[in-house]
């Protein structure tokens, strides 16, 4: 918030528990989605370093050093993928599956949290 951003803790949409349950990473840390002002997005390297240097931040999903693809979740529920070569793709089938590796581990951690095993 000090950086002018609007953080929102990500919650499971329909967990098996009565209340929404926080989404966790594969190492069971809480996940926050943060919307930054457009001006801060112009210098992604500085923004990344500023967020990564905050005490308690374990990982930053905005890492410009090794990016091959960006995934954009739109308000209407659609997803767009932007590749390093600046091309856009609209379907997951258009993306090399190796870029999406690791998602099953995060899903298992989220399921364990939803069941109250964390």
Domain regions of the chain by residue span = 6-114
| Global pTM value | 0.45
pLDDT confidence of residue 30: 84
Task: Give pLDDT tens digits for 91-109.
Answer: 555 554 434 444 444 444 4
Structure tokens at 99: 């870029």
Q: What share of the chain in percent tops pLDDT 90? A: 1
Instruction: Over range 62-89, report the average pLDDT.
Output: 73
Q: Write the CB contacts of 7 (distance below 8 Å, at least 6 apart in sequence).
A: 1, 32, 33, 34
Q: How far, in Å, CA of 25 to CA of 17, rounded?
A: 19
Q: Residues 12-16: contacts with CB within 8 Å, 24+ apart? A: 12/110, 12/114, 15/114, 16/114, 16/115
Task: Give pLDDT tens digits for 30-49.
Answer: 888 888 887 777 787 888 88
Q: Would you say residue 68 has pLDDT above 60?
A: yes
pLDDT confidence of residue 92: 52
């Amino acid at each position: 918030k000090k950086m002018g951003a609007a953080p929102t803790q990500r919650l499971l949409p329909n967990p098996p528990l009565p209340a929404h349950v926080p989404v966790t990473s594969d190492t069971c840390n809480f996940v926050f989605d943060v919307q930054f002002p457009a001006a801060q997005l112009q210098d992604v390297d500085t923004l990344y370093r500023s967020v990564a240097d905050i005490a308690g931040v374990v990982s930053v999903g905005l890492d410009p050093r090794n990016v091959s693809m960006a995934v954009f979740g739109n308000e209407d529920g659609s997803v767009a993928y932007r590749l390093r070569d600046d091309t856009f793709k609209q379907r997951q089938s258009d993306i090399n599956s190796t870029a999406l590796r690791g998602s099953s581990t995060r899903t298992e951690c989220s399921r364990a949290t939803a069941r109250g095993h964390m």
